[in-house]
Structure 1
Amino acid sequence: MQAAWPASLTLYENFTYFADRVGKLSAGMLTIDTMPAGQVVPPFELLDAVSRRVVDGSHSWAGYWTGKDRTAILFTGGPGGTFGMDFIDVMGWLHHGGGLELYQEFYTKVLKLDVVPIPILPSGPQAFGWFNRPITNLNDLKGLKCRQTGLAAEVWKELGMTVVNMPGGEIIPAAQRGVIDCAEWVGGVEDIRLGFQNVWKFHYSPGVHENVTIGELLINGEVWRALSAQHQEIIKSAARDAFIVWWPKWQKQNAEALTEMREKYGVQLLRTPGDVLRAFLEKWDEIAAREAAQNPFFKKVWDSQRDYASVVVPAKRFYFPPYSFVASIYWPEDFGADPASTSKGRG
């Protein structure tokens, strides 16, 4: 099975953790051989490669397939969540709101590919990105040549950016050659491992383009059907295990990476201007509505997500205290603020 990312990234560690769990849960009866991006096919060709069984499976991201059908982005969680959902909400929609059934229907009936998708990689919330100069408002983005991907690229294009799509491994060389002025990848430890801090010094967060973004495990349908029911359950359980166990480890790594960016590399950690975030969501809603009007399956999935979100999101706003409310009592320092102007927390 091949990943869409280099072996140097922690995203790949989610993949190897999954493979290790499959081996242990099956008592060695199942073995997953993991390969990094490009080992057999380029990252953006993985979907077709899995369907044709050039590789037995992949560790990738459905947003890469929006060129085939834009509905793909909705199975990542989508811009804005979608409809304000967080990771738990989206996993709830997938497992308890009909999302997994729609996911399989999309690949099998809409794209007519022989693959089985399984959610595995919670790689967010993601940062807004890295820039070669400060960004103070939406107008500052106009004309910038920026690496973006998925439907987010279309949103930014309509908001005035010049967007370029490329795999993660090509971003830093393009930046060093001056081909791009800015880029979005993931944030935190992933960005440090690729070397963003060596070419740009202005790092902005948060972003709402992938505040929820879930990567997928794809398995060739023929391979999947040849497995026993028990082995299929082992693979699904190992994927859920990888999701739950890897994610908090990754969040801690991201926290440590922010400190490293600022203290070791002199990166300025800055808050994304509010008008940028609002403009993105408003433009995304326009684009999604246009797509829903002409793409019945996009509308089917989008409506399903809206229906699920209409139940859980308002209820969570009532029950859950805002994260920043309690956090600011104990940890008033904001990574996006001047450390000299803040006091130390109670911790």
Structure 2
Amino acid sequence: MTDTSGNDAPVRAQNEVPVRAEGAASRRRFIATVAAGAAGAALAAPAVHAQAPIRLKFQSTWPNKDIFHEFAGDYVKRVNTMTGGRVELELLAAGSVVPAFQMADAVSAGILDGGHGVAAYWYGKNKAFSLFGTAPAFGWDADELLGWVRYGGGQALYDELITNVLKLNVVGMLYGPMPTQPLGWFKKEITSAADLKGLKYRTVGLGADLSKELGAAVTIVPAGEIVPAIDRGLLDGAEFNNPSSDLVLGFPDVSKVYMIQSYHQALECFEILFNKTKFDGLPPDVQAILKSAGDAASSDMMWKAQDRYSKDLEAIKARGVKVLPTPKPVLEAQLAAWDTVIANLSADPFFKKVIDSQKAWAQRVVGFRLQYEVDSRMAYDHFFGKA
């Protein structure tokens, strides 16, 4: 349509909407539609709630004041942190739900969801159990024992014992290497193997078989009962594990002779158990965290033990305790006793299968270490004098 006034500019019809105004209106309609849709979606969406954490009741086999219970707590804290709060392990001390020596059965039955202890405590079920915690003195240390568990076939044998032989409803993880345990606490110094004959003595696992072979009268009791038994004369001597535990459990109050270095328990490691039904029902990533947290806690435990054990041995000496090495003749008698114990128990095919596997690993791995690593004693004596 042309302006009749003579102006050449085009003229819009009266009902024609300017282009710019039409675009603005379209945008307003679009925004209004989106807003309405969003509001409707918000009204239609169900309320979202944070998932409740998976709570697991986890009992140790240790008194609350023992460093071993502290180690169990370190594992628990690591799991709870690594899962970002999705899992809450509740740590309980020995006896909170069941006595220490009943923990494995309670986990298998689902009375407890999990627990922290040592394989030697289940030695009464099958003596091969002790091989996974207090193995014979083949010259290896506890770190090499765990190497066997991870890379020498030990885990498969452990699983076979639990699942096929004993038919327990548990998943077990071994971790936390421990140094050589002392021969123990006594009223008087042990100078020969003959001093052990007739001695009322506390130890656990295969250490009990070995001590019986040397003539001791062995009593197996959990950690919290040892010192009271010595105090009442029910025990003449006893070992538990390490200077920190021994100090806090009160051994220096009832004995002043501490015999260190022994082959009855030259190495040991901890055990973490979970009810298998409960464990299998957890998400795969949580299962992986429960296992990986053990490996991480293993390293941290070794470093903490270096600090605490060395300090607490000096604290024991300061209490007027005589700290003495076990004499060589006693150590030699222990090794001879191991020969007999291993031979007798190897009549059980499963026990022999585990022993053969351990011997093959120790012969190769310890043999490598002894020929490959430099002598630490020589270097220590050079810089610090004889320990």
> Within 1, Cα distance between the matches of 2:146 and 2:193?
32
Aligned to 2:328: 274
Aligned residue identity for 1:6:
P
Q: Deviations over 1:153-205 (max 9, x none)?
A: 12111211111111110111111111111101012111000000011000011
Q: Deviations over 1:304-336 (max 9, x none)?
A: 1111122111111101123322222223243xx
Q: Deviations over 1:15-68 (max 9, x none)?
A: 111111111111111111110000111111111111111101110111111111
Q: Deviations over 1:185-228 (max 9, x none)?
A: 01211100000001100001112222210110001100110112
Equivalent of 1:13, from 37, 49, 70? 70
Matches within 5 A, 1:1-347: 1-80=58-137, 83-263=138-318, 265-293=319-347, 295-334=348-387
CA drift of 1:251 comes to: 2.3
> Within 1, Cα distance between the matches of 2:165 and 2:196?
36
* Secondary structure of the corresponding residue to residue 115 of structure 2: strand
**Please, what is the CA RMSD of the aligned residues?**
1.2
CA drift of 1:285 comes to: 2.1
Using CA pairs below 8 Å that are at least 6 residues apart, which structure has the higher relative contact order? Answer: 1
Aligned residue identity for 1:184:
E
Q: Which runs of no fewer than 5 residues in structure 1 stay unpaired?
A: 335-347
Q: Is the 8 A contact 1:129 1:187 kept in 2?
A: no
* Secondary structure of the corresponding residue to residue 269 of structure 1: strand
Identical aligned residues as a percent: 38
Aligned residue identity for 2:357:
S
Q: Is the 8 A contact 1:202 1:267 kept in 2?
A: yes
CA drift of 1:79 comes to: 2.8
> Within 1, Cα distance between the matches of 2:376 and 2:98?
42
* Count of aligned pairs: 330
* Secondary structure of the corresponding residue to residue 279 of structure 1: helix
Aligned residue identity for 2:96:
Q
> Within 2, Cα distance between the matches of 1:153 and 1:67?
11
* Off by >6 Å, runs of 4+ in structure 1: none
* Secondary structure of the corresponding residue to residue 216 of structure 1: strand
> Within 2, Cα distance between the matches of 1:137 and 1:323?
28
Q: Is the 8 A contact 1:77 1:90 kept in 2?
A: no
Aligned residue identity for 1:96:
Y
CA drift of 1:77 comes to: 4.5
Shift in alpha-carbon separation, 1:77–1:149, aligned structure 2, 3 A: closer
TM-score, normalised to structure 1, is 0.92
CA drift of 1:234 comes to: 0.5
Q: Is the 8 A contact 2:143 2:177 kept in 1?
A: no
Shift in alpha-carbon separation, 1:87–1:322, aligned structure 2, 3 A: farther
Aligned residue identity for 2:212:
K
Aligned residue identity for 2:238:
A
Q: Is the 8 A contact 1:124 1:210 kept in 2?
A: no
Q: Deviations over 1:243-290 (max 9, x none)?
A: 110122112211111111112x10001010111112112212211121
